[in-house]
Structure 1
Amino acid sequence: MNDHAPRRANRIALMIGHCAGMIDLVALPVWVGTLITRYGLAPQQAGLLATLFLGGAVCASLFWAPRFQRIAPERVAGWGFGIAGIAFAAMTQTSDYGAMAALHALAGLAAGSALSVTHGTIGSGEQPHRSFAMAGLALAVFGIFILGGTPVLVERAGGPALFKVFAAVMIVAALTSVAAFPRRQGATEQGQRSTAHIDSTVWYAAVGISCMGLVQAMMFSFVERIGADRGFGVAAVTGVLVALGIVNLAPAPLAALLERRWPARYVVLAGPVVQATLALIISHSSEFAPYAGATAAYAAVMIFTHTFAFGLIARLDPGGRALSATPAMLMIGAAIGPVLGGTLVQHAGYTSLGNATLAIATVAVCCFARAGRTRAVLSEA
């Protein structure tokens, strides 16, 4: 990337790429819920399909991250989103479980490749914390339409409507990537520094993010089913999901405003604790009000904390290699989440989801505590 601020079109392309690549973060409740109710799958089977998508994204991110400085990111983004769109379009034509499993894995590999270079490009540019916060705001706006609109479409047109929406999102991301994704123009100071040894504490931060991604996916995959099975009603649960999307508008710009006021090392310590608390409320509450309040705020905690974690890692590795592995950091946990959650729900009920978050949150806090003791982080303004 050049040293000048990206043009507006470049920023829009990165925001759209972030939204498409992170579609699981906002769509998992509808995604898993549709697979259960419209395709007749057991929770474990539905969770496994989501896990195959996320697992594909992890593998792709791990492949591209160490090669980030030697590739043309715009080509990977364009091809990746394009292939993901084709895979989702193919899902609308089949209900065979084996075919859907293969297509979920392919879509994950393709979208994960595109998302990896998108995050690497954001992380190696100027003001990565602020740029990632703006991408998070775009994702929140996108989430309102996904959570508010797709359940209605699925209700009217059936399960394949969900995958038509996903295919359209990926194709739009592919087209904008081809047209406006930032092109790398020669070596920069950050690019030259990218060959330096990555601080080992980056990987502690990565494990912490993975743990939060695991809790996020494990709980978020089943918030719609929890509400429905506890008799809160389709309209009420859909309203909660829309409220969740609206609440998600706040954490990204708030994280940008607080970048210089709240030290990242403290924010990432508090994030897993708040996340686990909300998960316990969602999984254990039999009343609508606590369930609704905790669900509406649930994803916001991940968005807010991850923005600070992104900035923290950017200080430890300014070249972008580690940040191009952000999809792997998030999705290696998130990939386990749906199938683990489905297994727990199938054998021990919804309350087991909240109980499992306590142990996972403890691991996350310990890892973030280790990452927060490095000189690069302690010297932050």
Structure 2
Amino acid sequence: MLAHCAGMLDLVALPLWVGTLVSAYRLDPQQAGGLVTLFLAGAVFSSLAVAPRLHRLPGRLVTSLGFGLAALAFAGVSQTTDYAWMAGLHLLAGVTSAAALSCTHGTIARSANPHRLFALVGMALGVFAVVFFAALPPLMARWGGDRLFQVFAGVMAVAGAVAALVFPRTVAASPVPASVAAAPRAGLGRAVWFGALGVSCMALVQAMMFSFLERIGIDRGFGQPAVNAVLVALGLVNLLPAGLAALLQRRWPAERVVLCGPVVQLALVLLMTQSQQFAPYAAAASVFAAVMIFTHTFAFGLLARLDPSGRALAATPAMMMAGAALGPVLGGTLVKWAGYESLAVAALLIAIGAVGCFAQARQAPGLRPDAARSAP
């Protein structure tokens, strides 16, 4: 739970992250988005390097060391305003934290019921989001924007220390046949690649829109207290989707849920970008991240069935952040040259691609039984 919360920090923190870089560090939207993109790009390449080697890496060492180095990187960001230094440290933080997160997700993927366990760590992320949004904006208002990166460093440090003590040295026995588990070098199927690409498309829309959620509210005159209240509400709502996904695991087929996720996500983007009134903006913003969490939980379970080795899901940071890495800088560029409304056009095109990819992410009939349904 702690490792997932630290590794998925960007999913929670993007609005404040980009907003702080714009308001406190006086960067333009494109520059601010570029720093976050460096963090996420580093995470993508790190995850792609770690995932194929999952079976040979000492998970406890990689997880604790990765978060420890990320803590040092964010602590360094809090001490400088030089853009080049901030860029390098963002990149280092992304590389190290994603290595830790890849080992975390690879361990979850090889548990007896990956869908249920991923839902559990998702609920922990929801609790973390509530505390984060309730505590951090007042702290930053009083002490300055550098407190954001000090909090990031603290979160990473705690996760690294706890991982060093209790992270599993070995993963749980795989529920799949030994012949499958013993073939870590087998190629990933077409359905797995399409499923991963679908997750990346949704992550791109999530990061592109989420990065500017706070700025949209401020620039439209809703006021900082009202926008902060929306962020707290968003955190409270995020307590629900992972638990709901766990309850609905056997009632709603994952293949259909992942098809609906991009469509709902697009509808919320349209509300946030096109409405000039506070109520529609607040309603859409408060549930926006929940759609990604709910859909991703089902996608995680689906990909765990399609690839029981766990290698594909060890690359979950790459799936999420390959899309998310482009989101802040793409969103910043669009906002800079065409305004917030242009985000909706980009979201529409990406959502079409996501639905097309998820339509191909299906297990061949009769290949093997549903591992999640047969798990205790």
TM-score (norm 2): 0.95
Name 1:56's counterpart in structure 2: 42
Q: State the Cα RMSD in Å.
A: 1.5
Which of 80, 84, 107 matches 2:93?
107
1-side partners of 2:347 and 2:136: how far apart?
28
Gapped regions of structure 2 (runs ≥ 5): none
Matched, 1:154 2:140: yes
Q: Summarize the Cα distance change of 1:347–1:187 in structure 2 as closer, same or farther, 3 Å threshold.
A: same
Rounded Cα–Cα distance in structure 1 between residues aligned with 2:209 and 2:190 = 30
- Alignment length (residue pairs): 367
Select which of 232, 241, 251 maps to 2:222.
232
Q: Secondary structure at the match of 1:265?
A: helix
Q: 2:360 aligns with which of 359, 366, 370?
A: 370
Aligned: 1:141 with 2:131: no
C-alpha distance in structure 2 between counterparts of 1:377 and 1:254, whole Å: 28
Q: List aligned pairs for 1:12-51, cutoff 5 A.
A: 15-51=1-37
Mapping 1:1-381, distance limit 5 Å: 15-184=1-170, 189=178, 191-372=181-362, 374-375=364-365, 380=370
Q: Percent identity?
A: 59
The whole-number CA distance in structure 2 between the counterparts of 1:182 and 1:34 is 36
Q: Is this contact kept in 1: 2:207–2:327, CA < 8 A? A: yes
Q: What displacement does 1:197 show?
A: 3.1
* 1:283-337 Cα deviation digits (max 9, x unpaired): 1110000000000010000000000000000001111100000000000000000
How far 1:191 moved relative to its partner? Answer: 3.9
> How far 1:275 sits from its partner (Å)?
0.3
How far is 1:372 from its partner? 2.5
Which secondary structure state, in structure 2, belongs to the residue aligned with residue 322 of structure 1? helix
Q: Structure 2 vs 1, CA of residues 376 and 80 (structure 1 numbering), >3 Å: closer, same or farther?
A: farther
Once the two structures are superposed, what CA deviation does each residue of 1:135-164 show, in whole Å capped at 9, x if it has no partner? 000001101111222111111111110001
8 Å Cα contact 2:15/2:214 also seen in 1: yes
Deviation at 1:377, TM superposition (A): 8.9
* Corresponding letter in the other structure for 2:160: A
Contact 1:81 1:174 in 2 (8 A): yes
Structure 1 residues 262 and 91: CA distance shift in structure 2, 3 A:
same
SS at match of 1:375: coil
8 Å CA contact 2:110–2:173 kept in 1: the answer is no
Distance apart, 1:186 and its partner CA = 10
Moved more, 67-76 or 39-48: 67-76
1:40-87 per-position Cα deviation (integer Å, ceiling 9, x unaligned): 000000000000001111010000000001111111101100000000
TM-score by length of 1: 0.94
Matched residue SS, 2:315: helix
Distance 1:364 1:179 in 2: 39
Paired amino acid for 2:223:
G
**Residues 111 and 172 of structure 2 are in contact (CA less than 8 Å); yes or no, is this contact kept in structure 1?**
no
| Counterpart residue type for residue 273 of structure 1 | V
Matched to 1:182, the amino acid is P
Shifted more, 347-356 versus 262-271: the winner is: 347-356
Counterparts of 2:256 and 2:97 in 1: how far apart (Å)? 32
Determine the C-alpha separation between the residues in 2 that align with 1:186 and 1:142: 26
Partner of 2:25, secondary structure, is coil
Unpaired runs of at least 5, structure 1: 1-14
By how many angstroms is 1:376 displaced?
Answer: 7.0
User: How far apart, CA to CA, are the structure 1 residues paired with 2:218 and 2:37?
Assistant: 22
Match of residue 10 from structure 1: none
